[in-house]
């Protein structure tokens, strides 16, 4: 039986550029975290050469897939199992963490048609346990693909979590789950993209301007090059320029194309975003005016981890210079008056 155990960092080549994927079988993947996960092949599998669930399901149909959890350690483990919808992160990669908010255009997410049978699974030492994912397809016929992931991680106690964070070794495994109503379908197509929103925001403590590039189609939008510039409306001078290659955008999700202001302060005013997306021999061009208000700029600059730090000695030095300057001015004025009086 073929083992489908993957790190979430290198989940599937389907979503990272290439279509065919093979499971990682190295010693490091077998031992990392002390456990592995394995997808049990399904009769509904469309492509048996790929390392994820790629299932043909009829409208209204019920199905079930199973995942084998193997505990290679000497102690019992409690593994948490969850389903996530595919989204797109700022690195231009399809994301299964479940931490990115679904876009409003995603009307039929994977999590609405698939459920885990157990959120927590006890796996004895040196043993394997199977857990199931129950699928209930909508009655309506859907085109394209529905994409998400089966995510498995070890349940962390407070003590374990502190230890794991200090060592940097919290391991998460993900197996992709792709559903379709079609007998044959290419899950990746460069159909179209749209410019959704543009604006300033705080992201992971950073001051950024973000242009959300929307994939409004039921297919992964692959291998794109995204370019963009930010200009103040008044001057038209380019103040920020970015380019991102090998961008893959999940169905009905946005790619957050970011311009990092770093240590610079965001200044209120009207700006223009000019951008383009190149993929599959086609180009989409965008231009959008946006405004950073005084209130928004102040809020982001205040909360940002990148702040202009002025050493205390500089502050004290400025105070001293002011005092000396004022004192010197007073002295000169007084001396002048004394001389005039004489």
The tens digit of pLDDT for each residue in 82-128 reads 999 999 999 999 999 999 999 999 999 999 999 999 999 999 999 99
Say whether pLDDT at 197 is over 60. Answer: yes
Q: Which of 308, 306, 299 is nearest to 262 (CA)?
A: 306
Say whether pLDDT at 272 is over 50. Answer: yes
Cα distance between residue 145 and residue 177, in whole Å: 10
Contact 83, 194 (CB under 8 A): no
pTM: 0.81
Q: Which of 181, 143, 176, 138 is nearest to 44 (CA)?
A: 181
Give Cα 154 distance to the centre of its chain.
22
Mean residue pLDDT of the chain comes to 86
pLDDT digits (tens, 9 = 90+) for 236-247: 999 999 999 999
Higher pLDDT, 303 or 332: 303
pLDDT digits (tens, 9 = 90+) for 219-271: 999 999 999 999 999 999 999 999 999 999 999 999 999 999 999 999 999 99
pLDDT value, residue 170: 75
pLDDT digits (tens, 9 = 90+) for 204-217: 999 999 999 999 99
pLDDT value, residue 13: 41
Look at 60-74, 111-125, 131-145, 154-168 and tell me which has the smallest mean pLDDT: 154-168
Say whether pLDDT at 11 is over 50. Answer: no
Q: How many CA atoms lie within 13 A of 297 on its CB side?
A: 13
């Amino acid at each position: 039986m073929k083992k489908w155990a993957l790190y979430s960092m290198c989940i599937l080549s389907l979503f990272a550029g290439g279509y065919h994927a093979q499971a990682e079988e190295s010693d490091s993947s077998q031992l990392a975290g002390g456990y592995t996960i394995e997808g049990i092949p399904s009769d509904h599998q469309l492509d048996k050469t790929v390392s994820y669930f790629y299932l043909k399901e009829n409208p209204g149909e019920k199905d079930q897939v199973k995942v084998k959890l193997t505990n290679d350690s000497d102690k019992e483990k409690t593994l948490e199992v969850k389903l996530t919808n595919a989204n797109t992160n700022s690195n231009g990669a399809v994301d299964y963490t479940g931490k990115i908010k679904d876009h409003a255009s995603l009307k039929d997410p994977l999590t609405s048609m698939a459920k885990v049978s157990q959120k927590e699974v006890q796996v004895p030492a040196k043993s394997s346990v199977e857990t199931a994912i129950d699928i209930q397809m909508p009655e309506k016929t859907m085109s394209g693909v529905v994409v998400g992931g089966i995510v498995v991680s070890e349940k962390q106690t407070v003590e374990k979590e502190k230890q794991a964070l200090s060592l940097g070794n919290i391991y998460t495994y993900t197996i992709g789950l792709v559903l379709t109503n079609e007998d044959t379908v290419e899950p990746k197509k460069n159909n179209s993209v749209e410019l959704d929103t543009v604006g300033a925001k705080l992201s992971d403590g950073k001051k950024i301007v973000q242009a959300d590039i929307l994939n409004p189609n039921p297919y992964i939008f692959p291998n794109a090059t995204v370019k963009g510039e930010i200009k103040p409306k008044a001057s038209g001078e380019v103040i920020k320029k970015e380019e991102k290659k090998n961008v893959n955008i999940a169905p009905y999700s946005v790619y957050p194309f970011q311009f990092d202001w770093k240590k610079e302060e965001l200044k209120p005013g009207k700006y223009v975003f000019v951008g383009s997306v190149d993929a599959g021999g086609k180009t989409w061009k965008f231009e959008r005016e946006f405004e950073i208000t005084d209130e928004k700029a102040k809020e982001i600059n205040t909360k940002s981890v990148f702040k202009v730090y002025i050493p205390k000695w500089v502050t004290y030095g400025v105070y001293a210079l002011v005092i000396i300057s004022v004192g010197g001015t007073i002295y000169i004025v007084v001396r002048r008056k004394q001389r005039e009086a004489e």
